[in-house]
Amino acid sequence: MSDTTRDSAPAAADGGLPVESTPQPLPAHPTARGAFGVSGSGDTSGFGGLVARVANPATLPAGTPRPFGGFFDGVVDRLDALVEGAVEKVVVDRGELTVFVRRERLLGVVAALRDDPDLRFEMCLGVSGVHYPDETGRELHAVYPMLSLTHNRRLRLEVAVPDADPHLPSIVSVYPSNNWHERETWDFFGLVFDGHPALTRIEMPDDWPGHPQRKDYPLGGIPVEYKGATIPPPDERRTYR
């Protein structure tokens, strides 16, 4: 990011993160009213008064313009300084900060978030998958909620990868508790976490075809695939080494 964009908050006297600025009002997202064809009065379902966003902020290419407000600018600037070229875009929505990072910089980013005294996000609260089939070249997203116990702050990391190459680094070496979460995200969405110690299914059977939380997976009419299944004796089950 250029120096001309880094004017959202004055620098701290001790050389740490900038002093937190007042959050700025964000431009309104386009919205649509009603759902399922409901319009006018007499709607007892409530769907006629529903106001829904037309665009998901996470899929908008430009992200949120500066200043972000609060501690957000300082955190993004610090990450930029520690891991050059890592930040792809920033989205501030509903008072929450989401930092999109490039997958090849993910391990450096999470190490910086954990270890840098000005950041100190000691906890990663897992990883979730999201599938946007219409976002060409960025169909699969991995989302990491982060918590700083030291500074009482939260942010969200997000990494987008193409369906044709769904690989990204495992962060288990930095946050070991993500072991099970990465397995679940692989199981349900097909995101491949390279370097994971045992990336196998955790909810579905080993031979289950497909990843059932993707939007291209059938919503109904799926045959019962457990019928006739057997459980092998303990000495014949898979082991992890």
pLDDT 10s digits, 102-123: 999 999 999 999 999 999 999 9
- At residue 61, the pLDDT reads 80
pLDDT in tens, 34-82: 666 666 655 666 667 777 776 777 777 888 998 999 999 999 999 999 9
In this prediction, residue 14 has a pLDDT band, given cuts at 50, 70 and 90, of very low
Winning range, highest mean pLDDT, from 17-21, 41-45, 98-102 = 98-102
- The per-residue pLDDT for range 169-226, each reduced to its tens digit, is 999 999 999 999 999 999 999 999 999 999 999 999 888 888 999 998 876 555 555 5
Report the Cα 80 to chain-centroid distance in Å.
19
DSSP string, the chain: --GGG--SSPPPTTSSSPPPBPPPPPPPPPEEE-STT--SS--SSSGGG-EEESS-GGG-SS-PPSP--BTHHHHHHHHHHHSTT-EEEEEEETTEEEEEE-GGGHHHHHHHHHH-TTT---EE---EEEE-TTSTT--EEEEEEEEETTTTEEEEEEEEE-TTS-EEE--TTT-TTHHHHHHHHHHHH--EEET-TT---SSS-TT--S-TTSTTS-SS----SSTT-----GGGS----
pTM of the model: 0.75
**pLDDT confidence of residue 42:** 58
Delineate the domains of the chain, giving CATH numbers in brackets: 57-226 (3.30.460.80)
The residue type at 57: P
